[in-house]
């Protein structure tokens, strides 16, 4: 806010506040469906954590599993749609 800028303050009825609370509390991230992985998540509501475990022989860049969090915008903290097949070296 800048000096001299007008700010509008509005009051809400109990009913409006109740509706706002329901809308805010009902923010959910999409259900996770990751190729070649299993997902452990207690919930998909804001603040919930999920762990993605790649199947044997598959990996994510840098690790075999990943923990992510559902943000208050309804998006997971990291986008993961697949685990990649490991390439075995014959050397």
Q: Does the residue 19 lie in any domain?
A: no
- The answer on pLDDT for 52 being more than 50 is yes
Q: Does the residue 49 lie in any domain?
A: yes
- The answer on pLDDT for 59 being more than 60 is yes
More confident residue, 64 or 32: 32
Pairing of the two strands 58-59 and 49-54: unpaired
Q: Structural domain of residue 54, as residue ranges? A: 28-85
What token pair was written down for 84? Answer: 């990649």
Domain count of the fold of the chain:
1
Average pLDDT over residues 60-83: 85
DSSP 85: E
Q: Does the residue 48 lie in any domain?
A: yes
CATH number at residue 47: 2.10.70.10
Q: Does the residue 20 lie in any domain?
A: no
DSSP 35: B
- pLDDT tens track for 11-40: 778 777 666 555 555 789 999 999 999 999
Q: Does the residue 9 lie in any domain?
A: no
Confidence label for 80 from pLDDT (cuts 50, 70 and 90): confident
Mean pLDDT over each residue of the chain, to the nearest integer: 80
């Amino acid at each position: 806010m800048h000096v001299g800028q007008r700010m509008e303050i509005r009051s809400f009825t109990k009913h409006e506040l109740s509706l706002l609370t329901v809308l805010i509390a009902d923010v959910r991230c999409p259900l996770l469906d990751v190729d070649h992985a299993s997902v452990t998540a207690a919930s998909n509501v804001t603040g919930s954590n999920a762990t993605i475990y790649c199947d044997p022989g598959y990996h994510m860049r840098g690790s075999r599993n990943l923990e992510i969090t559902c943000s208050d915008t309804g998006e997971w903290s990291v986008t993961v749609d697949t685990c990649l097949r490991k390439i075995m070296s014959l050397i």
